[in-house]
Amino acid sequence: PQELSNISWAYGTAQVPHPKLFEKVANHIVGSKSLDRFKPQELSNISWAYGTAQVPHPKLFEKVANHIVGSKSLDRFKP
């Protein structure tokens, strides 16, 4: 998960929307059974990268949102 987060973050920071890369990363995450392996910072970085690079992927955002909403506690999410 950290590697996917780092790659997404780097492209987002550089504002380089590489459609095939973003699509592959998003599809991999969406296809994951669970996002429990992802740390909150990694989910945050990935979401930020897609938003910053203006790469829409509604299924990715839905998966991340559902993971957060379904969490028993948000204690892992530090300000």
- Quick: pLDDT tens for 28-62: 999 999 999 999 999 999 999 999 999 999 999 99
The per-residue pLDDT for 75 is: 80
Percent of the chain at pLDDT > 90 equals: 85
**In whole angstroms, what is the distance from residue 14 CA to residue 39 CA?**
23
pLDDT at 77 over 80: no
Give the torsion sign (CA, 39, 61, 8, 11).
Answer: negative
Residue 64: both structure tokens together = 């991340």
The single residue listed with the structure tokens 């690079």 is: 53
**pTM, entire model:** 0.89
Across residues 13-21, what is the average pLDDT? 90
- Write out the H or E segment, with its range, that includes residue 2: helix 2-13
